[in-house]
Amino acid sequence: GENVEQHPSTLSVQEGDSAVIKCTYSDSASNYFPWYKQELGKGPQLIIDIRSNVGEKKDQRIAVTLNKTAKHFSLHITETQPEDSAVYFCAASWDSGGGADGLTFGKGTHLIIQP
């Protein structure tokens, strides 16, 4: 089955700086890669996702890049703010077009924004 590795486990950055979180996946059949933000005691919130037919996607301060050949994808957050502090999870799955499989998650990155 799929295996997703995520690094780093903890990331501390100064407010206003950029943060980068990296993930690798093992199953070349995976074609859907979402990123979720989880605050303590809450469910994961989708922040951005990318499908294998594109290499990069951006939404305001958040961007995701995908390298299918190397089987890795990254989350980039620019101009970090205190409210960005949370645990971020990457995930991978296969979407046939007629329905998606369950997600395989990375272990998570605790992002700390220092004021």
Partner 1 sequence: GAVVSQHPSWVICKSGTSVKIECRSLDFQATTMFWYRQFPKQSLMLMATSNEGSKATYEQGVEKDKFLINHASLTLSTLTVTSAHPEDSSFYICSASRPWVGSGDTQYFGPGTRLTVL
Contacting residues toward partner 1, per CB under 8 A: 32, 34, 36, 41-46, 49, 51, 89, 95, 97, 99-108
> Using CA atoms, how far apart are residues 111 and 90, in angstroms rounded to an integer?
13
Closest distance of CB 111 from partner 1, Å = 15
Pick between residue 42 and residue 115 the one whose CB is nearest to partner 1.
42
Neighbours of 3 (CB within 10 A): 11
Neighbours of 4 (CB within 10 A): 23
Closest distance of CB 79 from partner 1, Å = 26
Nearest residue to 9 (alpha-carbon basis) of 90, 78, 84, 66 = 90
Closest distance of CB 68 from partner 1, Å = 16
Pick between residue 74 and residue 94 the one whose CB is nearest to partner 1.
94
